[in-house]
Amino acid sequence: MNKYELAVVVSAKIEDEERAAVVDKCKALIERFNGVITEVDDWGKKRLAYEIQKMKEGYYYFIRFDAESTVPIEIESRVRIMDNVIRYLVVRQD
């Protein structure tokens, strides 16, 4: 099992319940592929480095998890098509 971190930037234009649902979907994806979530870090609303889809702000979430080496590819392919996710990135932690 390797340690990974999923960084997700969620649209600031949606309600709190919808934003929580997006994060829950991400956590469910990790668990679906037998990943073990170790920490969820909510950074809150931050200004984006550049404008994306006419948005200047987004909510940042960092989900740390342990999983097999094939899991990040599966997660990225599903997060890519999720509504209200502006940007995402899965990185391996050493």
pLDDT at position 63 is: 95
Is residue 94 scored above 90 in pLDDT? Answer: no
**Which string of b and e fits 57-77 if b means at least 16 CB within 10 Å?**
ebbbbebbbbbeeebbebbee
pLDDT of residue 27: 93
Range of the domain at 56: 2-93
Tally the domains of the chain.
1
CB distance 67 to 18 below 8 Å: no
Give residue 42's pLDDT.
92
Q: What is the pLDDT of residues 19-74, one digit of tens each?
A: 999 999 999 999 999 999 999 999 999 999 999 989 999 999 999 999 999 999 99
* CB-CB neighbours of 21 under 10 Å: 15
pLDDT at 26: 93
CATH number of the structural domain spanning residue 36: 3.30.70.60
Q: Are 20 and 13 in contact (CB under 8 A)?
A: no
Backbone angles phi, psi at 74, to 5 degrees: -65, -45
